[in-house]
Amino acid sequence: MDTRFSNFLKRINSKVVKIAVVGLGYVGLPLALEFAKKGIKVQGVDIDTGRLRNIRNKKSYITDVSDKELRHVLARGKLSASSDFSKIKEVDVVFICVPTPLRRKYLPDVSYIKQAVIAIAKNINPFSAPLIILESTTYPGTTEEVILPILEKDGLKHNQDFYLCFSPERIDPGNKLYPLNKIPKIIGGITQEAGILAASVYRIIVDKVVPVSTARTAETAKLLENTFRLVNIGLIDELAQMAHKMKINIWEVIEAAKTKPFGFMPFYPGPGCGGHCIPKDPLYLYWEARHHEFKPRFIKLASDITNRMPEYVVCRLEQALAERNAKLERAKILVVGVTYKKDIKDLRKSPSLDIIDILKKRNVKASYFDPLIPYLKIGRINLKSIDLTIPNLNKFHCVIIAVDHSSIDYNFILKNSKLIFDTHNIYKGKKDKRIILL
């Protein structure tokens, strides 16, 4: 090992390095905060003026970061934020935490990664030979085949002027049982040296690191985790539809099955699959596999099933109303919960939004209630959250429980509603003809 590498490793282990986090979203800001709390000086870089304004005003916009925590590290001078990429010249480690959406259903969009890397490449200080770590979820080969050539385009050399590594983010927003520091970090370096450096950096903030042989292995591991979840969610969603046809309570079936102490893991049906990972990440693997003349059938099938769940919910709703001599087009529907999961302020790919959109396309009078989201202005949807009062509930022909927020009084809803479509088994065990289970 050369002297530069050895000195870099010593500085990391002594916690005298400076860090930059590019992209201060749901991954980047909690990551920056963890390092800042450990006394590491962190430079945040983001082009979103709203985020930068919030940080200047000491206001958190991320569920897992409190205003108090943010104020503390800002006051100590351990965290600063800017849109200026030239500040990267002053740091030793650069994390890339930018979005990786899908341009179309099966087409990955790595343009945000490319833009960030181009800006980083212009500001690398080869005398400090920084470590660059991609955390954004992407398809296998991105780190080595996309990022590395950009960084080496103007003559910089890996393992000499910089080090490159992939370590997938594993943040689960709102999960208090597994905060960032309790989630093991997978690390795949382009070289052994890059992996060693990255492992030492992450050991500053996490309890366990898991080195793997290559960046491609680390990239695929992340996609396997989310594909596992998508396939099992798709399976249970399909079984829920089958069980309904067979007049079987799928929720009771799951409860019975999960008493087996081995060989089974419970998954639960719902109105669709939302969030930043599950609906999107497996399709990165699907896209890359097709470039190798392999078509992963499970991934596409599971994606198709979960994508159709909002339509299925509306179809079941229409059937339930018809059985009660009511027409969907003449009904007033209340959707309870519009975030993609319980107890967080996150609307990304929320199935509730799809349900409302489908209802609006059919000219149904749809309203919503969500204690975390006071208004919606997305696409065709422009609504304010209603007040959950007795007169308001009495107006609706049906209430759809689309998200199971902990703070909602479900007994109050049941007491004052004509019909409830429960997509989360909130009313487990209750015998009431007004309750319809998914």
Return the active site residues.
277
- Listed as own residue / partner, the contacts of 11-15 with beta carbons closer than 8 Å and 24 or more positions apart are 11/92, 12/92, 12/93, 12/197, 12/200, 12/201, 12/204, 13/200, 15/39, 15/40, 15/204
CB neighbours of residue 32 within 10 Å: 30
**String of DSSP letters for 89-117:** GG-SEEEE-----EEETTEE--HHHHHHH
CB neighbours of residue 400 within 10 Å: 29
| CA distance to 243, 245, 257, per residue, from 260 (Å) | 20, 26, 6
Return d(Cα 181, Cα 18) in angstroms, integer.
19
SS3 for 336? strand
Q: Return the ∠ at Cα 256 (arms to 319 and 404), rounded to 5°.
A: 55
Residue 214: name the closest of 181, 184, 235, 186 by CA.
186
| DSSP H or E segment with residue 211 | strand 209-211
The two tokens of residue 53 are 């304004």
The two tokens of residue 8 are 């870099």
List phi, psi (to 5°) of 59: -120, 125
Return d(Cα 301, Cα 357) in angstroms, integer.
23
Q: Which residues touch 48 (CB under 8 Å, ≥6 apart)?
A: 24
Return d(Cα 233, Cα 256) in angstroms, integer.
18
Return d(Cα 124, Cα 94) in angstroms, integer.
10
Residue indicated by tokens 């503390």: 72
Residue 36: name the closest of 65, 61, 2, 9 by CA.
65
| DSSP H or E segment with residue 21 | strand 18-22
What is the bridge-based pairing of β-strands 375-378 and 381-384? antiparallel
Q: Which residues touch 214 (CB under 8 Å, ≥6 apart)?
A: 144, 188, 189, 190
